Structure formats: C-alpha cells, structure tokens
Amino acid sequence: MTISDISHRKRYLPEGNVYLPHIAVIEKIIYETPNVKTFHFNFKDEKLKEEFTFESGQFGEYSVLGIGEATFCISSSPTRRDNLECTVARVGKVTNALHRLGEGAEIGFRGPFGNSFPLDYMAGKNLVLVAGGIGLAPLRSLIWNALDNRAQYGSIDIIYGARTPGDLCFKYDLESWEKDSSVNMTTTVDREAPDWQGNVGFVPAITEKVAPSAKNAVAIVCGPPIMIRFTFPVLEKLGFTPAQMITTLEKRMKCGIGKCGRCNIGDIYVCRDGPVFSYEQIRNFSSDEY
C-alpha cells in the first residue's frame, strides 16, 4: 500500500460555504523562538468545538479578519482535543498581524483541508522523523499522535535540527521526547554555539551519522526545501526506497480547496491532493517546481 492508495477516509468535512471562516479564540500563546509563536485556540461555537476533528498533516486557513488569510498546518495532535494549535513564523502581512494578537483575541479558521499522514501505512512500522526549523510543526502532530498510540508503531527516531539553539521550536516537547525511553531523539544545530552541548551539523549530515535502519521503516521529512532536497539522497543511501519516504510540501495558497490555482505542481494541487506526498510521487511529478 502506498499513500496514493489511501483514499480520503471518513473525516470531518467543512459543510456549507467553505469560504466562510469559523471564529476561534486564542487561548494561549507560546513563544517558541524570537520569530515563531504557537497559538492554542478553540472554536467559539460549542457544537463545532465538539464535532471538529482532523488528522495529523492536515492544514487550515487562518485569518486575521481585515488583514487576510494564511495557511499553516495544525501542529497539535488529533489525540489531544483540548484545543487546536498552530505554529507560525513571522514572515509577512498575516503572520505579522497574528503575532501582534494577544491571548483572548479572535481569529478565523477554515478547514481542515488536504490529506494527512498515512497512519494505516505507517502502522506496525518503525518511524524515522526528520525535521528542520519550523518544519517540526506538522511532524509534532504526528509524533504526539504516535506516542499516544505507542503500541501501534515500532521504534521512533526523531532527528531535529535548527540554525541555532535559539531557533529550536517546541523545546518543551523536545525535553519530554528526550526523556521518553521509547523515542530515540537527536537534536542538532547548524553551527557551534555557546552553551550548546549537542550535535553540530546540518540535518542531512546528522541523519547520515545517526543512520536509522530502513528495514520496515517509514521516513517522514519536513523542513526548508533545501533540507528536504538534501535529506532524500541520504535516506536513499541508507536503503530507504522512494515509497518509504514521506514529506509535506508548502506552497502559496489562498483558497485551500484546489480552485484559486496557485499551488499546483503539474496537475497536482498541493492543497487538494497534498500536502503529504511520498518521495515516489514527487519524483514522478512532471514538474521540478516543488
């Protein structure tokens, strides 16, 4: 079974006019790095709060009303339903506006959209999760999901890197995964830094060093495009087949539902057909524009 075999399973589908955002309240803001915040939010509508479900890997369209809409994955796990979380780097108009909001402020949410990580396919396998920078956000949802259903998976290897120690996101999670004896956690930063005792080196190089076994394993890679491009060959060297490698792609999106046109790679619309793809799929895209 490959990802493409997994059809859109039964899941929460937005009803009615999919362009209308649901109002949600920011309950808590966590400062991840100077540029990244995680927002914990919940729908105002009690019924929706109850009914809303999603799967790891799906994304939403978040609006700051009057400013605009932006696309981020849901970085919390569907197994933890207290609230939804998204992790946002400050890069443009909407993200700047989001960062200016305080706890208690209201945002708009549309979603969930897109496909998700193929949990059925991963079940019973060893998971190798490779992430860089804010690319840990979608994987974090998957990691907690896997940890909450720990028995369903084999070993779990996490390789996570950032530019500097200060750029590491989810430090509180990293700590708890490090303590977790069922997780093999490796953290790295790009360059030597004062007070940094851990690994130094780029993620692909560290992956090569850690050398997770490809046997009965799935590798999930997420991070800046350059990191992804260099990590795939390393994994291939370690024996991973293209079908065993999974990533999630990022594109400029507006509608989230395959209509507005900009997120295509060939005839694939990342918002509708993705964002989760196997390397095998990507390799066969007619376009190199991923």
Partner 1 sequence: MLEKWQKEFAVFVPSKASGVSQMEVWDGQDTAFLDRNRNTAVPPKAKFLPGMEKMFGFRKEEGSYVVEPTDGEPPKQLLFGIHPCDARAIGIIDMVFKDAYDDKYYLSRRENTVLVGMACTSPYDSCFCTSLGFGPADATDVDIMLIDIGDALLIEEVTEKGRGILAGAKGVIEATEKDEKEAAAARESANAKVSRKIDTAEISRRLPLVFNDREFWEEVSAKCVSCGICTFLCPTCYCFDINDEMLQDGSGARYRNWDCCSFAIYTRMPAENPREEKWRRVRQKVYHKYLFYPELFNVIACTGCGRCIRQCPVNWDITQTLSKLPAGSPGKAEEKQKAS
Partner 2 sequence: MTREIEKKLRDTVRELLEKETIDRIVGYEAGSLKFSTTPLITSNKADVDRLVINPFTHSNLSVFLRDLCGKVGIVAKGCDARSTISLIQDRQIARKDVFIIGAPCDGVIDLAKVEKLIGLDRDEIDDIVWQGEKAAITFAGSTQKFSAKEVLADSCLGCDPSDFKECDMLIGEIEPIVGGKELGQDRIREMEAMAPAQRWEFWKKEFSRCIRCYGCRQVCPACFCDRCFVEETEPRWISPLPKWQDNLIFQVVRMMHVAGRCTNCGECERICPANIPLGSLTKKMEEIVDELFQYRAGTDKDAPPLMAAYQPDELEDLMR
Binding window for partner 2 (CB under 8 A); candidates: 91-99, 121-129, 168-176, 178-186: 91-99
Q: Taking the alpha carbons of 220, 226, 229, 234 in that order, is the dihedral positive or negative?
A: negative
35 binds partner 1 (CB under 8 A): no
Stretch 195-234: interaction string toward partner 1, x if CB under 8 A: -----------------------------xx---------
Q: Are 108 and 70 in contact (CB under 8 A)?
A: no
The whole-angstrom separation of Cα 52 and Cα 11 is 9
Q: Which is nearer to partner 2, 92 or 225 (CB)?
A: 92
65 binds partner 2 (CB under 8 A): no
Q: Output 26-33 pairs: Cβ under 8 A, ≥24 positions apart.
A: 26/101, 26/102, 26/103, 26/104, 26/105, 26/106, 26/107, 27/83, 27/103, 27/104, 28/83, 28/103, 29/101, 29/102, 29/103, 32/87, 32/169, 32/170, 32/171, 33/166, 33/167, 33/168, 33/169
Binding partner 2 (rule: CB under 8 A), the pick from 96, 152, 182, 241 is 96
Residues numbered 266-285 forming contacts with partner 1, rule: CB under 8 A = 266-267, 272, 283-284
Residue 210, SS3?
helix
67 binds partner 1 (CB under 8 A): yes
Residue 288 binding target from partner 1, partner 2, none, CB below 5 to 8 Å by type: partner 1
Q: Taking the alpha carbons of 43, 93, 102, 74 in that order, is the dihedral positive or negative?
A: positive
Residue 96 binding target from partner 2, partner 1, none, CB below 5 to 8 Å by type: partner 2
The first and second tokens of residue 35, run together, are 């540029």
65 binds partner 1 (CB under 8 A): yes
CB of 287 to partner 1, least distance (A): 7
2 binds partner 1 (CB under 8 A): no
Count the alpha carbons within 13 Å of 146 in the hemisphere toward its beta carbon.
Answer: 32
44 binds partner 2 (CB under 8 A): no
Q: Which is nearer to partner 2, 56 or 95 (CB)?
A: 95
Q: Are 285 and 265 in contact (CB under 8 A)?
A: yes
- Amino acid at position 47, single letter: K
Which of 272, 2, 243 shows the shortest CA–CA distance to 120?
2
CB of 262 to partner 1, least distance (A): 5
Stretch 12-31: interaction string toward partner 1, x if CB under 8 A: --x-xxxxxx-x--------
Provide the binding-site residues for partner 2, judged by CB under 8 A: 92-93, 96
Provide the binding-site residues for partner 1, judged by CB under 8 A: 14, 16-21, 23, 44, 63, 65-69, 89, 91-92, 106, 108, 224-225, 250-252, 254-255, 257-267, 272, 283-284, 286-290
